[in-house]
Structure 1
Amino acid sequence: MEEKFVPIASKIGAQRHLIAIRDAFMVTMPLMILGALAVMFNNLPIDAFQNAMNTVFGGEAWKGFGGSVWSGTFAILSVLIAFLVAYNLAHGYGKDGLAAGAVSLGAFFALGGALGMSSNGLFIAIIVALISTEIFVRLIGNDKLVIKMPDGVPPAVARSFAALLPAMIVISLFGLVAAIFAAFGITDIIGSFYAAVQEPFMGLANSYPSALLIAFITPFLWFFGLHGANMIDPFLQTINAPAIEANLAAVTAGKAAPYIVNKPFIDSFVNLGGTGATFGLIIAIFLVGRKHKAYNVVNNLSMAPGLFNINEPMLFGLPIVLNPIMFIPFILAPMTLVTTAYWATRLGLVPVATVMPPWVTPPILGGFLATQSFSGAILAAVNLVISVAIYAPFVRIGVLQELKREQSL
């Protein structure tokens, strides 16, 4: 695995296009959290709260706050991604990121971006950003397309003229593509793409096997010292944001939320304490691993960060990385937790996660906030107990082996 798999996975993790997508979504994460919280505020399922707000404001005018916040977050998500992905990718090539981002925005709207500014246009925004930037960075490096300004011209003006012809070419190309599609009767490229590709893909990713794969692949990569979450995040975010928005829209309309598997589902019910549900490991060490001093020291250092889903001290301190004893529970725990959470939600025991709490929200509290229900908190608590039960025997084995090794020295 070290000779064959790890080098390939490392190259994937360092791939500039995936890094550009990942970093773009990192920037938009606070906006998605805020947008989800605003919608939760508007649709809080507590009759007393709704009646009180309607009485104070003389109707539902108070919901304009949440609507306005949504307009500044989810409603412009695709536009932000179109700019940020291009900006980051151009930086990866050592080119002008601002110019590339502006060109990507122009190309996105030339293709029909005004019809897909929300997360419905997310796939198209990413594709446009990647393709437009690849073309732009090659054209801007061509001396024949550079309008050179005389000495003494401010650098910002010189850069804008250097990017003028490449920008015109790129945006015109995407405008030509839109015209060709329109000639075949497709005037809404983004809507057609969403219906034909993005929506079915989201449905596929919402299945139980997909949830198991997500629960497996992240800890599997972490076991080899690779940041699993960062590596698969570009793929997950392309389905996560539209799924959350679709859930919010369904709840607002009084319908059932359609997508079980999304980021708040994984964060609140599976990654309890971080990848691998390591807060269960912390509790297991406290219960059955106290005979070993090193385990206790690492555990004490990991407890506070682990409460907020930061588990690097445990991953590298115990360690879990390249530790064959911990490999099985580190993989088994999240796959078991995703199973209980998925079927509890599918069977209607727990509401679908529609709100995205910050990923540092402590276990159990995150389950309550994500589902706006105490049953979500109960499910998270049950999953935490399950993770402790899975880790406990392996902690015991690890402690016994360490004690034997120390005695033999």
Structure 2
Amino acid sequence: MASEKLNKFQMKLTKIMGKIAGNKLLLSLRDTFIMAAAPLMIAGFAIMISSVFLDPTGIIFGNSGLHLGSLISGSEKAFLVSDFAEGLRTLQGYFNLFINGTMAINALLVVAGFAFFGSRRFFPKNKEPIVVTFYALAAFFITLPWTVTTLDTKGNEVTINGIVNSNFIGQQGIFTGLIVSGITIYVFNKLIQKNVTFKMPDTVPPAVAKSFESLVPGVVTLAIFVIVAGVLNGVFDTSLPEALLWLLQKPALAVAATPLFAVVAIVSTPILQWFGIHGTSVWGPIFGLTWNINDNENIMGTAQHLYSTLFMNFTVVSSGALTLAPIIAIIIFSKRADNKKIAKLAIAPGIFNVSEPVTYGLPIVLNPILFIPYLLSWVIPFFLGQLLTEIGLIPIITNNVPWTVPPILSGLLYSGSIMGALYQAFVIVIVVILYMPFVRVANNLANKLD
């Protein structure tokens, strides 16, 4: 009986999700994030190696982990000033270069990909979608803030002009990049459709003619963003990415003063992440003013806050709900060889809670079928952890543990109790079961589209 109900549920879900998955916009966005997946998977492995194996204060060498640094040099303080630790930091710098060339420019990858795939799907008569990509990138750079505020050698704050703020070519700029790219797709291709172009003689080589034909649509498109950037800078002393980020942060800050803070934070973070917007870009500053303070007071023993950043890490980020659980579900329940290969590649970083290979590799981002289990993989572990803490089975989280500590072990270290480890093991099982019907639906839908 239960099997029949599950099959009916899967059939209904397949039908609904099939309609959603066929949407041109979602298909364009999906193709964009799949295109960007490979560089982000490289970044995921680099983060794992840098944060886990090379960090002198991390879980291998630090006193919050295996204490190998203290064992090598006699004390953590002596180890941190040793040549060995300096060598590790040098290697970290090299591995961070992988991140600089991948995750740090993620917004640029998204702008380029969405302009290309969006043009192909919405304007198939445009035989040169790469030209739209060039103009989308140009428009994106027009909207970026070209000033950087930093500290000089005396500690004074100085503003340097003429340097693009690199924060917005990475995760924080994705939302802006999608908007800019979408407007560019529409305006540029519409002008091409209406023949608002320079017409070159037939004797001109096709490549040259195409280049000149794009001039008028290109000028109009870029002029729109010049006006937007000029108004925002001249009137409001800001840029488009900064303004959009502020618009997202302002309601979050307002909610922070209400009892609904935890609910909104834990529900909105995976929703933002599903759209490709890094949740920490929005919530990081708010957590800094709220849950991070709770962390410090809990660690010092001056308070007993249930909600804290460490509690979120214990229940969600480091619990395996976002990494090992979907990986195990794919390996067990998926019949697709391509998904199984991606899942196996994601195991190593997934053990250390690096989620990019899963999030962007399957992908979970903008995947309508996996949206529900991904959302619930945040909500259920967090509020289950809250319930168990309130009834006294799990103590208030007071231990500062690196987020890269593997699940179950991290549960033991965060809580100082075997119950913390058992809780994380239970979370992994629950989330694996949660993913099961959705993985099967994804298989059925993929097989129909093949």
Both proteins in one fold, TM over 0.5: yes
**For 1:239-388, what aligned pairs fall within 5 Å after superposition?**
239-240=278-279, 242=281, 258=309, 260=312, 265=317, 268-269=320-321, 272-274=324-326, 278=329, 336-340=380-384, 347-348=396-397, 354=403, 382-385=423-426
Residue 91 (structure 1) shift: 2.0
Unpaired stretches in structure 1, ≥5 consecutive residues: 216-231, 283-297, 310-328, 356-363, 396-409
**For 1:9-408, what aligned pairs fall within 5 Å after superposition?**
9-26=17-34, 27-28=36-37, 29-34=40-45, 36-37=47-48, 40=51, 41-42=54-55, 44-45=58-59, 46-47=61-62, 48-49=68-69, 55-56=82-83, 59=86, 62=90, 63-93=92-122, 94=124, 95=126, 96-112=128-144, 114-115=164-165, 116-148=168-200, 150-151=202-203, 153=205, 155-198=206-249, 200=251, 207-208=262-263, 211=266, 235-240=274-279, 242=281, 258=309, 260=312, 265=317, 268-269=320-321, 272-274=324-326, 278=329, 336-340=380-384, 347-348=396-397, 354=403, 382-385=423-426
Sort the Cα spacing of 1:87 and 1:387 in 2 relative to 1 into closer, same or farther, 3 A. Answer: same
Structure 1 residues 12-32: Cα deviation after superposition (integer angstroms, max 9, x where no partner): 322222232333233143254
Residue 244 (structure 1) shift: 10
Query: Which letter maps to 2:383?
Result: T
Residue 130 (structure 1) shift: 1.3
Residue 184 (structure 1) shift: 0.9
8 Å Cα contact 1:186-1:192 kept in structure 2: no
Paired residue secondary structure (1:143): coil
Residue 129 (structure 1) shift: 1.2
Residue 144 (structure 1) shift: 3.1
Residue 110 (structure 1) shift: 0.8
What is the aligned partner in structure 2 of residue 228 from structure 1? none
- Aligned mates of 1:331, 1:66 — CA distance in 2: 31
- Aligned mates of 1:84, 1:189 — CA distance in 2: 20
Query: Which letter maps to 1:82?
Result: V
Residue 59 (structure 1) shift: 3.9
Identity %: 16
- Aligned mates of 1:267, 1:58 — CA distance in 2: 29
Bigger helix share: 1
Unpaired stretches in structure 2, ≥5 consecutive residues: 1-8, 63-67, 70-75, 146-163, 297-307, 351-372, 437-450
Query: Which letter maps to 2:202?
Result: P
- Aligned mates of 1:163, 1:346 — CA distance in 2: 64
Query: Which letter maps to 2:110?
Result: I
- Aligned mates of 1:88, 1:200 — CA distance in 2: 32
Task: Give me the TM-score of the superposition, normalised by structure 2.
Answer: 0.54
Sort the Cα spacing of 1:341 and 1:69 in 2 relative to 1 into closer, same or farther, 3 A. Answer: farther
Residue 268 (structure 1) shift: 2.2
Task: Give me the TM-score of the superposition, normalised by structure 1.
Answer: 0.58
8 Å Cα contact 1:280-1:385 kept in structure 2: no
Residue 78 (structure 1) shift: 1.9
Pairwise CA RMSD of aligned residues?
A: 5.5
Structure 1 residues 270-299: Cα deviation after superposition (integer angstroms, max 9, x where no partner): 575539x748998xxxxxxxxxxxxxxx9x
Sort the Cα spacing of 1:333 and 1:30 in 2 relative to 1 into closer, same or farther, 3 A. Answer: closer
Sort the Cα spacing of 1:8 and 1:101 in 2 relative to 1 into closer, same or farther, 3 A. Answer: same
Sort the Cα spacing of 1:141 and 1:120 in 2 relative to 1 into closer, same or farther, 3 A. Answer: same
Residue 101 (structure 1) shift: 1.6
